[in-house]
């Protein structure tokens, strides 16, 4: 049978929609035409067609509109002074995504590991997927989104990365880290630079924090603290050092068993943060405030610089998924994989091992991959960001049991772990001693701390 004289643009469109990027040779073979016919059909579909690469091995892909927002999105970064800089351009394609860097000769050092010919990737860029609203604050964000966006009020129910991109382009002007997607979010950030939001005087915290907590609790999920996820809000304080963005956790009222236990846990988190700060693993020691029968734990945001500047951050979860880490839930195993690929250095790996050992020795059972962060820069290796969310979650309220008293039985170290374990055990001993002596801790939890201190002492004798 003779080959068809032409390649129908509609047939080319359908093939690229269903199969994703294809080379000219693959298109010609599938359609039974000469490669010259492919070039003509591609030209007829311009500019809907994207060529990935410039060599003979290049492929063709079809642009894919995201709702009514188009198919191409500019990604910018906000520097420490609050100024925006073009960083990349993202194009949605059938079968994946394309990234073009604003400075083609200066692509991030890690880009070659993840993006193929012409900047193509089948998966959504890890640094954007990371920005989908998460946790207590994320669900509050979801419920506040305009219905016109067509997004579920619970971000956990968003069916695809397209929903995340819609959110980033329409409402993502105050994201964690330093990225902005699209011109509308840039204009919002620029407006904020010209008209900074009001700051909260430090002297007003005792009055304003309870009001902010009430508002956050009203928009939160009932019983969220019982489920082990601490309610929180964001604020910017007016301090002697200038505007200071903070994240503030808060408890239920002290008269409830849940409120009392979380008050103890926040006091313990403050102790852990202070110790990690002393040893160079945390940016600053958290501050406690009791007001209106609640306890507040205030921590400076390390992804912000002053009132307007920002710093890029990315979680271990995002790096682990992007760089195909092993099937593990342990920080140390995931970090060793990153080190093996030269994505982090020896100093970062050692710090992660120290933090992990310290966490285990203070009963932190919530060291998930979202609770370990890295600075997000163009350079390699990724540098470890300050520690956060380090507290004895073994004793956190659970459904049906607001004040659990579980056994505290940390494992002894393996021989290869002994040096770091003993160093972390010294930190943990200081932690438990501090908790036991803290006047802001209830007698019941002080007793728990003394028992844990005794357990740790026995372990150190035989380890």
Peptide bond into 47 cis (omega under 30): yes
Would you call 138 exposed, middle or buried from its count of C-beta atoms within 10 A (0-12, 13-18, 19+)? Answer: middle
Tell me the C-alpha distance between 306 and 319, whole Å. Answer: 27
Please tell me which residue in 79, 290, 321, 366 is annotated as part of the active site. 366
Tell me the C-alpha distance between 227 and 241, whole Å. Answer: 37
DSSP 293: T
Length of the chain: 463
**Active-site residue, 366 included:** yes
| Main-chain dihedrals φ then ψ at residue 299, nearest 5 degrees | -130, 130
Specify the 3-state DSSP secondary structure of 386.
Answer: coil
Which two structure tokens, joined as six digits, stand for 358? 């310290």
Q: What DSSP line would sit under 143-159, residue for residue?
A: HTS-GGG---SSGGG--
Peptide bond into 133 cis (omega under 30): no
Number of alpha helices (DSSP H) and beta strands (DSSP E) in the chain: 15, 17
Tell me the C-alpha distance between 225 and 262, whole Å. Answer: 8
Give the dihedral of Cα atoms 316, 319, 320, 323; nearest 10 deg: -160
CB 262 within 8 A of CB 230: yes
| Main-chain dihedrals φ then ψ at residue 88, nearest 5 degrees | -160, 165
Residues serving a catalytic function are: 366
């Amino acid at each position: 049978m003779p080959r068809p004289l032409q390649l129908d643009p509609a047939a080319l469109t359908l093939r690229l929609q269903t199969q994703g990027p294809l080379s000219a040779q693959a298109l010609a073979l599938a359609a039974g035409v000469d490669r010259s016919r492919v070039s003509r059909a591609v030209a007829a579909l311009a500019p809907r067609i994207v060529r990935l690469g410039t060599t003979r091995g290049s492929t063709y892909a079809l642009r894919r509109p995201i709702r009514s927002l188009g198919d191409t999105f500019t990604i910018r970064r906000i520097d420490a002074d609050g100024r925006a800089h073009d960083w990349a351009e993202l194009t949605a394609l059938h079968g994946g995504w394309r990234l073009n860097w604003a400075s083609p000769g200066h692509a991030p050092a890690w880009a070659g590991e993840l993006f193929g010919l012409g900047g193509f990737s089948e998966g959504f860029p890890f640094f954007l997927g990371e920005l989908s609203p998460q946790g207590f604050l994320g669900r509050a964000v979801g419920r506040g989104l305009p219905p016109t966006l067509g997004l579920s009020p619970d971000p956990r129910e968003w069916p695809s990365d397209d929903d995340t991109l819609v959110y980033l382009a329409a409402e993502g002007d105050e994201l964690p880290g330093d990225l902005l997607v699209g011109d509308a979010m840039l204009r919002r950030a620029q407006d904020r630079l010209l008209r900074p939001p009001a700051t909260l005087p430090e002297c007003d915290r005792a009055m304003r924090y309870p009001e902010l907590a009430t508002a956050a609790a009203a928009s939160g999920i009932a019983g969220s603290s019982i489920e082990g996820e601490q309610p929180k809000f964001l604020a910017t304080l007016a301090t002697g050092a200038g505007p200071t963005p903070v994240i503030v956790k808060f408890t239920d009222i002290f008269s409830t068993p849940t409120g009392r236990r979380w008050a103890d846990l926040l006091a313990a988190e403050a102790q852990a943060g202070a110790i990690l700060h002393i040893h160079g693993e945390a940016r600053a020691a958290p501050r406690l405030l009791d007001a209106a029968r609640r306890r507040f734990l205030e921590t400076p945001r390390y992804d912000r610089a002053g009132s307007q500047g920002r710093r890029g951050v990315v979680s271990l979860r995002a790096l682990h998924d992007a760089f195909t880490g092993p099937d593990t839930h342990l920080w140390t195993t995931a970090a060793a994989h990153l080190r093996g690929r030269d994505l982090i250095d020896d100093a970062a790996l050692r710090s992660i091992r120290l933090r992990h050992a310290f966490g285990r020795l203070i009963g932190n059972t919530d060291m998930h991959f979202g609770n370990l962060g890295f600075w997000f820069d163009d350079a390699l290796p990724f540098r470890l960001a300050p520690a956060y969310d380090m507290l004895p979650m073994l004793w956190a309220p659970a459904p049906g049991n607001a004040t659990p008293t579980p056994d505290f039985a940390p494992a002894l170290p393996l021989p290869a772990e002994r040096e770091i374990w003993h160093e972390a055990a010294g930190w943990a001993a200081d932690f438990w001693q501090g908790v036991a002596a803290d006047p802001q801790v209830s007698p019941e939890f002080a007793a728990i701390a003394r028992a844990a201190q005794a357990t740790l002492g026995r372990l150190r004798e035989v380890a």
